[in-house]
Chain A
Amino acid sequence: MAVVVLLPSLLATEAGGRNRFEVEASTTGGALRELPIRGLLFDEQDELRPLVNVYVDGVDVRNRGGLDEKLNDGAEIRVVAAIAGGLPRSSSGS
C-alpha cells in the first residue's frame, strides 16, 4: 500500500533534496528501508538508531506496534531527530 514518509532537513539533504517520499510498504520498517537514506536511519545490525524517532499518524512507533506494525493505506510516517545533541557525549581528543 502507498504511504508517505516525511524527512527532517538534514536527511532531506542526504536524500537529494527531497523531504517527502511516497513508497509502497506494508510496515513502518519496510517503508523506511525503501528510502535512499536507510543507512542513516538503521545501523549495521539493522536496528533503528537510538536517537531517531519515528511517528506514524502522529504516534511514536515505540509507543505502538514498533517498526513491524502493519500500516494503513495512506499512512503518514514522520522521521524526527530526538531531543539530544548539543555537547557531545565524548570529546574529540582534547
Chain B
Amino acid sequence: MIILAGTRKGLFILESDEGRRDWQVEGPLVPGWEIYHAILDPRDDVLYACSNTFAYGANVHRSRDRGQTWEHAEQLGLPENGELKLEKTWHVEPGRDSDLWLGGAPGVLFRSGDGGVEWELVTGLFDHSSRERWQPGGGGMCCHSIQISPDGAIYAGISAAGAFRSEDDGETWTPVNKGTAADFAPDDPFPEVGQCVHKLLVHPEVPSRLWQQNHCGVYRSDDRGDNWERLEANGLPSGFGFPLALHPRDPDVAYVVPEVGAENRVTSDGRLGVYKTTDGGASWGLAANGLPDPAWLAVMREGLAFDRLDPAGVYLGTQSGSVFVSPDEGGEWITAADNLPPILSIEVGEWQS
C-alpha cells in the first residue's frame, strides 16, 4: 500500500504493508513543484502529479518508473487565441479505457488519450452557457472533483460554479445543484449554478449516491445529483469544511473534517476532528481516537482518502505536514509521517507489478 502525499514542496510516497501501521517515507519527488494532487494509475502503475510553480506555470508530471524519473506534459493549455490562460492543475483522474481526465483553473477540464503527454481541452465545459455566472473561490476557479461513475456518467465539481454531470462522455454538461445552497449570495441562495463545491464523490458501488462537502454544508444525493439533501446540525460542529472520504462498500458511511467556518478556516473545537456517519448523514460522531487534541489545523480539499481493503483504511494529511492513517475505518489513528511540507493532497494505491 502506498500513500501519495502532494505537498507545497514536491511529492512524497509513503509505503507500508497491508497492516498499514509502519510507513517508510520517500521524497521529495518532483522537487520545486507544488503537487496539488497525485495518483497511481492502477491500469499501468504510472504516477501522475498535478504540478504547479510560481514561475513556470501549471503542468502534469508522469513517472513510469515508480517516481525515479519524471516528464512533464508536452501539450497543455487553453486556446491560444482566447482570453483565458491555464492557471493551475488541480486533479487528475483515470477514465475509461486508456483515458485520463484533468481538472484545473479557471474551471477547465482536459482529457488525454496518450498517457498524459498531450491534453485536449473539454470544450463542452469550457464553452458552457452558464460560465459567465461562475466565479472563483478562495483557491481560484478550480475544477477539483472528477468522478467517473460506474453507471456511465461523469461528474465535475468546480468552485464556485457547482456540480455538473455529463451523460455523453464529456460532450455536454448539465448543472446538478438543486438543493445545494449559496448562502454567500442572499439575493439568490439556490441558483442553478455558482455553488461553491469543495469536494464531490460518487459512491464506487452505488452510483446513484453522491456526497458533497460544500462551502455551505454537507450534502447527499440519492438520485445522481438531481436533488441534494443538506446533512448538518445532527452532530457536526460545522457544515463548513473541505475534504470528504467514503467507504468503498457501505454507501451510508462518510467522513468529513469540519472547520469553524468560512471566515475562520481552522478545525472546529480546537482539535483535529474527523467526523463519521454510518447512517447516510442522519447523524455524525467524532472518529478522532489518536488525532491531535488540542490542535488548530487545516486539511485541504484533497486531504482525505480511503482504500479498498477490509477493514477500509482512511488517510488524512494536514497543512502542517502530518499524515495520519486509520487502518480500521476511523476507530483509531496512527501517525504515519510528521514534518513534511504543507500537504495539499492525499491519495492511496497499490503497485500492480
In the assembly, what is the distance between CA of A35 and CA of B75, in Å?
Answer: 15
Q: Determine the interface band of chain A, counting residues with CB < 8 A from chain B.
A: 20 to 34
Q: A10-B56, A40-B59 are in contact. Are A93 and B301 (CB under 8 A)?
A: yes
Stretch of B40-48, B138-146, B223-231 that contacts chain A: B138-146
Contacting residue for A94 out of B53, B75, B242, CB 8 A:
B242
A63 touches B (CB below 8 Å): no
A90 touches B55 (CB 8 A): no
Q: Would you give the shortest CB distance from A1 to chain B, in whole angstroms?
A: 27
The SS class assigned to the A binding surface is: loop
B333 touches A (CB below 8 Å): no
Give the residues in chain B near A61, CB-CB below 8 Å. Answer: none
Give the residues in chain A near B59, CB-CB below 8 Å. Answer: 40
Q: Would you give the shortest CB distance from B272 to chain A, in whole angstroms?
A: 13
The SS class assigned to the B binding surface is: loop
In this complex, the member of A52, A84, A91 whose beta carbon has the largest number of chain B beta carbons within 10 angstroms is A91
Contacting residue for B55 out of A39, A44, A85, A91, CB 8 A:
A85
B34 touches A (CB below 8 Å): yes
Interface size on B, residues (CB 8 A): 42
Give the residues in chain B near A82, CB-CB below 8 Å. Answer: 55
Q: Would you give the shortest CB distance from A64 to chain B, in whole angstroms?
A: 21
A43 touches B57 (CB 8 A): yes
B271 touches A (CB below 8 Å): no
Per the 8 Å Cβ criterion, residues 49-96 of B in contact with A are: 53-57, 59, 72-80, 85-86
Q: A43-B85, A44-B85, A44-B86 are in contact. Are A91 and B139 (CB under 8 A)?
A: yes
Per the 8 Å Cβ criterion, residues 37-59 of A in contact with B are: 39-41, 43-46, 49, 51-52
Shortest Cβ-Cβ A-B pairs, 10 listed:
A44-B77, A40-B56, A93-B301, A81-B55, A85-B54, A93-B139, A10-B32, A51-B55, A94-B298, A94-B300
Q: Which residues in B have some Cβ–Cβ distance to A below 8 Å?
A: 8, 31-34, 36, 53-57, 59, 72-80, 85-86, 137-140, 142, 144, 159, 198, 242, 259, 265, 298-303, 319, 344
Not counting A91-B139, A93-B159, A94-B265, a sample of 11 additional A-B residue pairs whose C-beta atoms are within 8 angstroms of each other reads A14-B72, A39-B57, A39-B74, A44-B79, A45-B85, A85-B54, A88-B8, A88-B54, A90-B138, A92-B301, A94-B259
Question: Could you give 5 example pairs across A and B, Cβ below 8 Å?
Answer: A10-B33, A44-B79, A92-B34, A92-B300, A94-B303
